[in-house]
Structure 1
Amino acid sequence: MKQVYLFLVLVMTCWGCQDMKIGYLKADNAGYLPNELEVKKTLDPVEDAVRIANEAPWVTPKIQGVLGTAPLQYEFVSVKASDGGDAELFKQEIVVRGGGVMELPLYTKLPAGRYVVTLRVSNDGYSSALPDVYTFIVK
């Protein structure tokens, strides 16, 4: 009789575990350090010589503070443009790569302005919005 009870407890325990999602995602402390990038419309031939020679785009650092089951995917959600910025043009130029790294072309067509980006991070079964997580300042 003792074995029957033990068997029932074991079966009920295993049955209850089937509804649990696998993995996790925690993005409460997600952010960039630094959290803004100044993008120059007019490059200085001396100060920006290396960037010009390598045709290096404007790139953010990798995001920090995101914990979760791999693989983590990052996607652009929206942008708030102010101070003369053009949100629609920004959407066409922004590229989001692995690790939440964002990039704008070296010779951007964006007008001067401030662009505040919202991203989404997700993995299998989980998703989290990262509102106003990074600012691009085009001068």
Structure 2
Amino acid sequence: MKSIYSVFFLVFALWSCHDVKVGYLKADNAEYDPTSIVVRKELDPEEDELRIMNDANWVSPKIQGVLGTNPLNYELVNVTATEGGDAEAFKQEVVVRGGGIMELPLHTKVPKGHYLVSLRVYNEDYSAELKNAFTFIVE
């Protein structure tokens, strides 16, 4: 009789562990600091001297306030363009890297405008959307 209870308990324990989510994700306090970057289509020889010399792309800071089980992945969810911007063209050029770092080419082809970027951060079992988390101001 003890062996029947042991088998039943073992099967129940294995079955109940099947639905347990892996890790955690907390993104309630996620934010960029600063929250925007100004991208100049016409580079200033003095102000952009190092950027020109190093052929350095326009790069956002790393996002702060995201806690969770690694690996944390980031992907582009949506872009809202205002003031003459083209969201589809922006989506073609922007690259999202680890830590929520976003990169736009030094010589971007997107039109002047404001681009509000929404991201999704996720790991194995959790996901959170960060709406309008960062703004690229292309002038």
Alignment of 1:20-35 (within 5 A): 20-35=20-35
Q: Which residue of 2 aligns with 1:45?
A: 45
Q: Which amino acid aligns with 1:20?
A: V
2:52 counterpart SS class = helix
Which residue of structure 1 lines up, in the alignment, with residue 67 of structure 2?
Answer: 67
SS in 2 for 1:76: strand
1:77 shift after superposition? 0.8
TM-score (ref. length: structure 2): 0.89
Displacement of 1:18: 3.9
- Which residue is 2:126 aligned to? 126
Q: Which residue of 2 aligns with 1:36?
A: 36
- Structure 1 stretches of 4+ with a deviation exceeding 6 A read none
Q: Which residue of structure 2 lines up, in the alignment, with residue 86 of structure 1?
A: 86
Look up the equivalent residue of 2:119 and give its one-letter code.
L
Size of the aligned set, in residue pairs, is 137
SS in 1 for 2:120: strand
Q: Which runs of 5+ in 2 are unaligned?
A: none
Instruction: Name the CA distance, whole Å, in 2 between partners of 1:105 and 1:56.
Output: 8
Kindly provide the CA deviation profile for residues 66-125 of structure 1, in whole angstroms up to 9, marking residues without a partner as x.
111000110011100000001111011000001100000001111110000000001101
Aligned-pair Cα RMSD in Å: 2.0
Given the two structures, how large is their TM-score scaled by the length of structure 1?
Answer: 0.89
1:46 Cα shift? 1.4
- 1:27 deviates by 0.7
Question: Percent identity between the aligned chains?
Answer: 61
